[in-house]
A and B are shown apart, each in its own frame.
Chain A
Amino acid sequence: NAGVTQTPKFRVLKTGQSMTLLCAQDMNHEYMYWYRQDPGMGLRLIHYSVGEGTTAKGEVPDGYNVSRLKKQNFLLGLESAAPSQTSVYFCASNTPRGNYGYTFGSGTRLTVV
């Protein structure tokens, strides 16, 4: 099925550890985004990309890095995890052609202890 795939689905990290979340989409979308969702809140934008090789900061970029080496993949990295980064992370993609909603992945639940 076409869509956005996130890996892993769950992860527990110790403070100071690093990890990479992978997002892959097969819809040939130019735009990709990483959001985080904390309990009882809406989603907040971490970083986004308008195309291969480009990235930009969103609302809450501190502590995260991203890379878009291939059009279909968007990686989110945590270099030194902190408990404040405990959250559910969602990747999404979109096309600049027309007015369409985002396609979201199913999320990665990250706990930093």
Chain B
Amino acid sequence: SQQGEEDPQALSIQEGENATMNCSYKTSINNLQWYRQNSGRGLVHLILIRSNEREKHSGRLRVTLDTSKKSSSLLITASRAADTASYFCATASGSARQLTFGSGTQLTVLP
């Protein structure tokens, strides 16, 4: 089962615009993470937010977490063509911090 469900499934924007992706999950978590996957490649970790945090920044990335609504959002500011990729949220839980992934958002940034 997919713990995280992401919205939208696909997003197309112009270079320089901001991109916002949302993620909802179902159960309690240790932390929530966002990953990027370029076509045909492995996943790259972008940012992690703990369950007791509400907002976190890293460069052009801003993540929010609302545990009462079991939701998170990822904002990419001033997008670039190189940001074109699939973005996945993943929730960590369990003794080995197993990650459960959402189905992803395909972001296309047009030059």
Contacts and interface: CB of A to CB of B under 8 A. Distances in A.
A43 B1 contact: no
Interface in A42-58: 42-45, 48-50, 56, 58
Interface of B: 1-2, 4, 30-31, 33, 35, 41-48, 50, 88, 90, 95-104
B39 to A, nearest CB: 12
A54 to B, nearest CB: 9
Interface of A: 31, 33, 35, 40-45, 48-50, 56, 58-59, 90, 92, 94, 96, 99-107
B25 to A, nearest CB: 12
B42 A33 contact: no
A49 B90 CA distance: 19
Given A31-B96, A56-B96, A99-B50, A42 B45 contact: no
Given A40-B103, A42-B102, A99-B31, A104 B42 contact: yes
Given A100-B48, A106-B41, A45 B31 contact: no
Given A43-B88, A59-B1, A102 B103 contact: no
Contacts of B31: 99
Given A103-B45, A107-B41, A48 B4 contact: no
A42 B103 contact: yes
Contacts of B43: 43, 90, 92, 102, 104
7 contacts: A40-B103, A41-B103, A43-B88, A94-B96, A102-B43, A104-B42, A107-B42
Find the residue from A35, A43, A50, A90 having the highest chain B CB count within 10 A.
Answer: A43
